[in-house]
Amino acid sequence: MSRVTLKRAPWLALSLLVSGCFGMPTPLAPGLEGSVGLPYAGTLTDAEELPVHGEGFERYRPWGLRNYGTPELVQAIMREARQVAAEEPGGPPLLVGDLSARSGGRISGHHSHRSGRDVDLLYFSTTPSGVPVAAPGFVHYGPDGLAASPEGGYVRLDVARQWALFRAWLTDPSVEILWMFVSRDVESLIIDHARALNEPAELIWRAEQVLHQPRDSANHDDHVHIRIACTAQQRVRGCETGGPAWPWMADAPTLGNDELLTLPTAPVDQRSGLL
């Protein structure tokens, strides 16, 4: 290495730190902690583990190693499940799929879920006649709301409880929703139900913005993938939201703090990241 390069090395390290180019905590970036980096290129410290079960929910894979997230995400999952159980009593619990690994990073079967702000939730199910039943797994719901069950026969998307869950997430002041990745068929069923209930127009509009079928992964007709945004405090510690700054977001950064969070003109799929 030349003498000039050696002289520049400390300044280069400092510039990388200031510009947020470190994707994980390092001795050169001791302030990075929590949800660090992007959902599809990040890591995680100080993770909280989702309990195996609780009021209104249980883990789909009880003994897996990918049940960790930021405290904000884990507490929100528990809070929204509890709210649905109170509003729609008598049904089976919400089944919670993958969050992140304890230290974040890549996990098999996912391109994201790397920084503790993503979670997969199985859809609520009923019998074809409308009796709530436990979700039979990752089954694929069509435009009629029906899915073939692995045990034979069919189950129906429990649209009422599913909307109650989405409404709980969207109205929770403690978290900001970036995306709810669902298939177009599921989105249509959910939005039609919300309109039939005469839900507030602004709430329906919010749901229409965040409900989205991605083009760069599975169409999500078998589960919903929820991604929450960084808080202002998390961004200071290295969190990069990697999504749009929706106009209703209280913690949206000011212009220039995070270029990925401004609303670009590119198609939505190019700014959502891999799942």
**DSSP letter at 226?**
E
194-212 pLDDT, tens per residue? 999 999 999 999 999 999 9
Nearest to 49 by CA among 84, 25, 75: 75
Pairing of strands 41-44, 35-38: antiparallel
* CA angle (122, 107, 270) in 5-degree steps: 75
2-50 pLDDT, tens per residue? 333 333 333 223 333 333 444 555 534 567 899 999 999 999 999 999 9
Nearest to 138 by CA among 118, 114, 155: 155
Contacts for 47 with CB less than 8 Å, ≥ 6 apart: 68, 69, 70, 100, 102, 103, 104, 116
* CA angle (246, 249, 250) in 5-degree steps: 155
* CA angle (248, 262, 173) in 5-degree steps: 25
Q: Which domains does the chain have, with CATH numbers?
A: 33-263 (3.30.1380.10)
Instruction: Return averaged pLDDT per consecutive 10 residues of the chain, 275 residues in all.
Output: 34 33 50 91 95 97 94 98 96 97 92 95 97 96 96 96 98 96 97 98 98 86 97 93 88 45 31 43
Q: State the pLDDT at residue 10.
A: 34
Is the pTM here over 0.85, yes or no? no
Q: What's the CA gap between 32 and 234, in Å, rounded?
A: 9
Q: What's the CA gap between 137 and 88, in Å, rounded?
A: 21
Q: State the pLDDT at residue 21.
A: 44
The backbone torsions φ and ψ at residue 126, rounded to the nearest 5 degrees and listed phi first, read -135, 170
> 90 near 122, Cβ under 8 Å?
no
DSSP 30-53: TT--SEEEETTEEEESS-EEPPSE
Q: State the pLDDT at residue 4.
A: 32
Nearest to 94 by CA among 51, 62, 123: 123
- Tell me which amino acid residue 251 is: D
Q: State the pLDDT at residue 77.
A: 98
> 141 near 157, Cβ under 8 Å?
yes
Q: State the pLDDT at residue 89.
A: 93
Q: State the pLDDT at residue 29.
A: 56
Nearest to 70 by CA among 211, 224, 239, 242: 239
The backbone torsions φ and ψ at residue 100, rounded to the nearest 5 degrees and listed phi first, read -135, 165
